[in-house]
Amino acid sequence: MSLKQTWVWLLLSFVGSATQDKTPDTHVTCVVAEDCVLPCAFQPSSNNLVRWFRQEALVLSFLSADSTEEEEEEEEEEDDDEGSDEDTEEDGEEQPGLEHGQRYDDRASVIPELVARGNATLVLKGCGPKDRGRYRCHVRTATGAHESHVLVKVEAPLRSLNMELSRLSGFEEIKCSTRHVYPAPHVTWETDPPASHHLRPITRKLADKQTGMYVVESRVRRLRNHPEITYVCKVTSSYGMQSWTASLRERAEISGPERRDISIPCHAPPHLRDPFLSWTFTHGQDPAHILAYDPYSRLSTVSPPWEGHIKMDTYRVPLGDGTLRLLDPDHDQHTGVYTCTYSAPYNTHTEETEVTISHVAEKHSSWEPSHWWIVALVITLLVIALAAMLTYLKVKGSFSTTRKQPEQPTEMHSVKVSTPEEMIPGESSPLTGPESGGETTHTPSKDA
C-alpha cells in the first residue's frame, strides 16, 4: 500500500465512520433470563453478509448461500475501521451459513429467512448482565453496506419486596429486602407520622458472583418511643423505571384470657387496589401460615390447623378490613405474633400485632383438683394401711393362741372351765396370752 493509497483509505474510513455515526444508537433494555432482541434493518440484495459485534468482538456472522467472496473483500476494507476483527471475519466468509464468535454459541442467532428480507435482527436467548454493551450490526450486500449500533441495557426488575420486624439477637429492627434484581436499586425510608430523621438505614447490596444478580437488604432500628408508627421502605430501580413500596405498621399489643374470642385488627392503606391478603403466626422461629384471601375469587383458604379457630369476614376485606377473629383461644397454641400482609403489584403493607392469651382462669380449675386428689389418696392409703395393720395384729394374736392349743390341750381346757373371766384379756393381748397359759397351770393346782 503506497502513501497515497493509505491517505485515500484513511479519508474514506473517516468519511465512512462519520456518516455511520449519524444514525443514532438504538436503545434496548432486555430482561434477565428472557430473550434479547437487537434490531437491524437494511436494504436487502443478494450476497448478504451479516455480522454482529459486541464491543468489537464477533458475536456471529451469517452469509447467504448465494454470495461470492471476491466482491465482498473490497467493500469490507472500505467500511471497516477496526483491524482486530479482520482475521475472524475473513475466516467466516469462506462458506455460507452461520458462525459464532468465541463466547457465543446457539444462544445468539439471526433468522435466515428474515435476513433475505432485510431484517438482520439478533436474538440473544436467556440474556444476563454480561450481555450489556454497545453492539454493531454490519451488513454487506452485493450493492452496498449498512452499519448500525444498538445500546443494550439489561435489567432484572423487582418482583417482590419483603418487609419484616426482626427481633433476633436483642436488636429490634425493620428489615426491607429484595433479591434477584439488576442493576442494584436505590433504597429510601420514611415513616408515618414523619420521624425519618431518627432512622439510620444500613443498606447492603450484594452481587451474586455467577449470575451478577443483586440481593438487597436495608435495615432501620425500631423507634421505641413511637407506638403504632408505620415504616415505609421504597426501592427504585436504577433506571428509574419502576419503584416498589413496602410498609409495616406495628400495632399495640393485645391480651385476653383463654377461651374468650379476640379480634386482631388489620387495615389496608387506601392506595392499595385489590390486594391479596395473608395472615401468618409466629411463635419462636418459623412463621406458620393461617389464611390467604384472593381478591379475584373473593375466597379465603384457611390452613388446616387453624380451621375452627379463626374467622374473617370476607365481605369486609374488599373494604380494607382484614380483621381476624380468634375463636376459643388457647394460651399455649395462640400466644405469639400475628402478621397480616396486603400485597398488590409494586406495593405491600404489613401489620404486626403481639397477642398474649393468659391462662389465669384455668389455674384454679386445673391445679387444685389434682392437689386434693393427692391429699385424698394419701389419707385413703393411710386408712388402708392402718386397717391392714390392725387386721394383721388381730390375725396374728388369734393364730398364736390356736398354735399353742395342741401343745397344752388339758391346761387350756381346764382354764376355760375354771376361770373364764381371766381368759378374755389373755386372748386379746399377745403378750399376756402365753403367760396366762402359764398362770392357768397354777390355778388348777392351787384349786387342787
Ligand X SMILES: *[C@@H]1O[C@H](CO)[C@@H](O)[C@H](O)[C@H]1NC(C)=O
Q: Indicate the pairing of strand 230-236 with strand 186-192.
A: antiparallel
The minimum distance between CB 237 and ligand X, in angstroms, equals 25
The minimum distance between CB 147 and ligand X, in angstroms, equals 17
Region from 113-121, 151-159, 213-221, 394-402 binding ligand X, contact rule CB under 6 A: 113-121
Q: For residues 150 and 290, which CB has a smaller minimum distance to ligand X in the complex?
A: 150
Give me the numbers of helices (H) and strands (E) for the chain, helices first please. Answer: 9, 25
Phi-psi label, residue 394: left if phi above 0, alpha if psi -120 to 50, beta otherwise: alpha
Q: In Å, how far are 250, 252, 321, 419 from 270, measured between CA atoms?
A: 18, 21, 11, 111
Closest-CA residue to 123 (of 140, 139, 104) = 104
Q: For residues 118 and 318, which CB has a smaller minimum distance to ligand X in the complex?
A: 118
Task: Select the residue interacting with ligand X from 25, 26, 28, 41 (CB under 6 A).
Answer: 41
Contacts of 257 (CB under 8 A, 6+ apart): 357, 358, 359, 360, 361
Task: Select the residue interacting with ligand X from 61, 67, 121, 414 (CB under 6 A).
Answer: 121
The minimum distance between CB 119 and ligand X, in angstroms, equals 4
Task: Select the residue interacting with ligand X from 26, 119, 282, 333 (CB under 6 A).
Answer: 119
The minimum distance between CB 76 and ligand X, in angstroms, equals 24
Residue 155 pairs with which residues in a beta bridge? 31
Per-residue contact track with ligand X, 21 to 40, x per CB under 6 A? Answer: ----------------x---
Per-residue contact track with ligand X, 67 to 106, x per CB under 6 A? Answer: ----------------------------------------
Q: What value, to the nearest 5°, has the Cα angle with vertex 369 and ends 363 and 373?
A: 145
Q: Is 365 helix (H, G, I), strand (E, B) or coil?
A: helix
Q: For residues 114 and 361, which CB has a smaller minimum distance to ligand X in the complex?
A: 114
The minimum distance between CB 303 and ligand X, in angstroms, equals 46
Q: For residues 117 and 273, which CB has a smaller minimum distance to ligand X in the complex?
A: 117
If one asks whether residue 114 binds ligand X (CB under 6 A), the answer comes out as: yes
Q: In Å, how far are 141, 171, 172, 174, 337 from 168, measured between CA atoms?
A: 67, 6, 7, 11, 14
Count of residues near ligand X by CB under 6 A: 5
In 208-359, which residue ranges form alpha helices assigned H by DSSP?
331-334
Q: For residues 115 and 312, which CB has a smaller minimum distance to ligand X in the complex?
A: 115
Q: Are the beta carbons of 216 and 205 closer than 8 angstroms?
A: yes
Element (H, E) at 292: strand 288-294
The minimum distance between CB 123 and ligand X, in angstroms, equals 7
Residue carrying C-alpha cell 413511637: 226
Residue 30 pairs with which residues in a beta bridge? 154
The minimum distance between CB 41 and ligand X, in angstroms, equals 5
Binding site for ligand X (CB under 6 A): 37, 41, 114, 119, 121
